[in-house]
Amino acid sequence: MKFATEYLWFNTKKHREYINITGEVEAVVRKSGVKEGMVLVSAMHITAGVYVNDAESGLIADIDEWLEGLAPFREDYRHHQTGETNGDSHLKSLIVHHEVIVPITEGKLDLGPWQQVYYAEFDGQRRKRLIIKVMGE
């Protein structure tokens, strides 16, 4: 079995941002030489997430609005008593989740016709990383 690991680094310009990383994940899979297996894509910070969905700007805006409705910024989160002000970012990350696993078939990501891999940043404007781990034959 082959394994390959690479990291992507982000320092977003906005507090919340959704970045299509499908091309970067595909590049790591190609470089790995794995033809059949899977790839784990995981945010390595507790205020970010990874998800698979459509790359349509209206949907991305809807997702952002929906998440803000479920976990809005508020001053009164208990987490803020620690000196942090990102309680909502932690909650948004829990909703989206921090990782996805995508199958690899014949050396390519085996995604549906509209599916793309996204990095979701909920507490940006600082340096964060993501791991891409390819496993298979």
pLDDT at 5: 98
Measured between alpha carbons, how far is residue 77 from residues 70, 89, 124 in Å?
14, 11, 19
Tell if the pTM clears 0.85, that is, is over it. yes
Delimit the domains of the chain by residue range. 2-72+86-136
CATH of domain 2-72+86-136: 2.60.120.460
Q: pLDDT per residue over 79-131, tens digit each?
A: 999 999 999 999 999 999 999 999 999 999 999 999 999 999 999 999 999 99
The first and second tokens of residue 101, run together, are 């696993």
pLDDT, tens digit, for every residue of 17-37?
999 999 999 999 999 999 999
